[in-house]
Structure 1
């Protein structure tokens, strides 16, 4: 019997028992959709992590840090792994780093908190200053404007798309997350007062609150305010989250000029002091971003920098740690889906076994007419494989629909939890693997019924009811 004839007979048998075939296929659909959807959640989280790594410089970037300098209110997940060091990252440090082989670029970074004022709104923002190349390495996608001009005498700011959420109404201390209303500020057009001396600002507020009468003119004089405008604003809505969404970026040379002019020999916020309490001689950076020419040379460069007495942090460390966690997540989610497919396999075996009992005479006649045992086995295996194939294809289609719904719901309401990216991701290889796996499950489930059909005695089968 030709394979084409066997396939035709198999499909005809499935069509004759449409309801049973439908219910069996439905079990495979549910099992396949469960596995694919569950695994897609793990893959989506991993994809989001990889995008964050790219936003922070990729795998060839090393962050070099020394003794603490600058101010940051963002928590660093690896802070506890860093050793206490006494050396500061200064211009002389950058010069020494340039002597290390395989380093293609070095970009100093400085972070500090500042206060932004606009009308009746106040915001505590995180300033991130770096060189032109350092800012470009952040892969900032601008929806308006351009990157800051390097070395300017005035501060030009690039606002993260979620910075508006930091602006709170004076008096009520309520902002977007409390009221649901975006502050009446257009960062692309409006000038903003920027206060770099936050300690002095807080003292002035305390003084005004405790004084019986407040001289508004006197209070303004005690705080130096920089009038700044946006050079650019990142694309995305206020709820679209990324690693860069809440930062305000500027050129590091421009920030240094403004700080030195404003403080004129006094201690700049976040900068170290001498034992006598005076300003430190050199400007100290929060860290330096080192880009290695090839990923194969990263470990060598790390060792040399550590020998200089500095801490290093790479995205590879973060990536390796997260991969282990995501592997466990995917295994757990895949295991949950596999239970559904195992139940579907039992359904296929049951369907095929019932089919043998109902077609006993048909099998006997086929044997009497000279049909080989191999052909009979192929017929039942093809039926089981067809059920797996149909269920796998429909299940994968359903998975893509469910994935789209999940991502849509996350896009609508997940930004407040930091879930603005797609958390369900189905690559083509996963869909093809799921279909192949469903077919294999069908074939394995049909092995026992096919073996039973081969063992039926032709005469007993013909005489049976």
Structure 2
């Protein structure tokens, strides 16, 4: 029997049992659509994080008080959170000050140094109060070292005083009315003018560090919450990190065991996020794959039922000269068609879902990241999903098809 004729017989089997076939196909559709949408959203997130990493560069290091093995960049494998074994200092007991800045200035490979303080501040605008995170930065170098992007207005400049840059959400919908460029806002009783709006979804405020000392009462002048440095050559990041470690330990009179500061790469956090996204995507894809297995059971059930229903027809075909491999081909193609139809519809549905879900997401945290990242339907995910759907369909129909091919014509013709 020619393959085209076997294909026609297989198609007739699908059309003959429309309801049962489509119920089986729906199981495959759900599984494939779930896999495609999850993989696409995960790929979109990974691409977004990768683009952010490329924009951040590897030439930024952040020094903070207190030593955490989990976030510290100490040229050794991390071993969980908390402070180093034997450490006697905590973040509350240790500080960064001008002495540390002078040490960093002595390292020729460091290009820029930005000192920051951070705290919570009360804001007031058009009758509404709120509490937001306020960060004081060295406005002389902040524009050259920050990775934040400006949506409207400008970044802080060297001569700025009573001006601020605010997060996108604070500008758009935090208050009753939008807070735009050149608008005045009260922060802890003082008035400040907005000169820039960030291209993000935060409610943060950035201002010159000397003004921040006046606004944040609990901050002491020349004591910093973090020091951010930009190195001249990102290829020397390991060397510079080691050099900074050694010099700071020497001037702060600490050893590796009781070290009281942490050096972290500006890329570490997003790299960790990227790994988490990959793991989460794999986990959710595995869950979605369960739906494909359910679909496989449905295909096997449909095929067994078809064999029983078509037993007499199989006997007639064999009596007319059909060979075992012809019967096998017909039922395998039947299973193949069910898997293929379910796979194609599932890919289309998954593509639509992967576009709708990010559009519906908002707010903060991971949902806002999903919304901004969107989805990325790759040819790999499409081919993988189709291959799995067709493969599962064909394999699920293998045993029923084999049983059908082994039916004896006499027994099949007697079947009622």
Question: Would you call these one fold, judging by a TM-score over 0.5?
Answer: yes
CA distance in 2, matches of 1:417, 1:316: 18
Match of 2:62 among 61, 64, 75: 64
Matches within 5 A, 1:21-420: 21-38=21-38, 57-58=56-57, 60-67=58-65, 78=71, 81=82, 84=89, 88=97, 90-97=100-107, 99-100=108-109, 105-113=111-119, 120=127, 124=131, 125-130=133-138, 134-135=142-143, 138-149=146-157, 151-163=158-170, 182-184=175-177, 186-193=179-186, 225=190, 228-235=192-199, 241=201, 245-250=202-207, 255-256=209-210, 269-271=219-221, 286-291=226-231, 293-294=233-234, 298-309=237-248, 311-319=262-270, 321-322=272-273, 325-326=276-277, 328-368=279-319, 370-411=321-362, 415=363, 419-420=367-368
Label 1:332 to 1:122 Cα distance change in 2 as closer, same or farther (>3 A): closer
CA distance in 2, matches of 1:185, 1:320: 34
CA distance in 2, matches of 1:30, 1:408: 21
CA contact (8 A) 2:33 2:347 kept: yes
CA distance in 2, matches of 1:300, 1:438: 51
Aligned twin of 1:6? 6
What is the Cα-based RMSD across aligned positions, in Å?
4.0
Deviations for 1:229-262, whole angstroms, at most 9, x for unmatched residues? 22222346xxxx3xxx222234x6xx55x689x8
CA distance in 2, matches of 1:259, 1:272: 12
**Structure 1 counterpart SS, 2:263:** strand
Deviations for 1:182-241, whole angstroms, at most 9, x for unmatched residues? 34564323234556xxxxx7xxxxxxxxxxxxxxxxxxxxxxx5x5422222346xxxx3
**Structure 2 counterpart SS, 1:421:** helix
CA distance in 1, matches of 2:50, 2:17: 48
Query: Offset of 1:410 from its aligned partner?
Result: 2.1
Query: Offset of 1:435 from its aligned partner?
Result: 2.0
Deviations for 1:405-449, whole angstroms, at most 9, x for unmatched residues? 4334323xxx16663233674532323322221111101101101
Label 1:345 to 1:232 Cα distance change in 2 as closer, same or farther (>3 A): same
CA contact (8 A) 1:106 1:291 kept: yes
Query: Offset of 1:127 from its aligned partner?
Result: 2.6
CA contact (8 A) 2:32 2:292 kept: yes
Aligned twin of 1:206? none
Number of aligned residues: 378
CA contact (8 A) 2:103 2:247 kept: no
CA contact (8 A) 1:64 1:290 kept: no
Query: Offset of 1:349 from its aligned partner?
Result: 0.8
Query: Offset of 1:31 from its aligned partner?
Result: 2.5
Structure 2 unaligned residues grouped into runs of 5+: 73-80, 249-260
CA contact (8 A) 1:67 1:88 kept: no
Length-normalised TM-score, structure 2: 0.73
Label 1:460 to 1:49 Cα distance change in 2 as closer, same or farther (>3 A): same
CA distance in 1, matches of 2:41, 2:332: 33
Query: Offset of 1:43 from its aligned partner?
Result: 5.4
Query: Offset of 1:319 from its aligned partner?
Result: 4.5
Label 1:133 to 1:460 Cα distance change in 2 as closer, same or farther (>3 A): farther
CA contact (8 A) 1:145 1:231 kept: yes
Length-normalised TM-score, structure 1: 0.67
CA contact (8 A) 2:118 2:225 kept: no
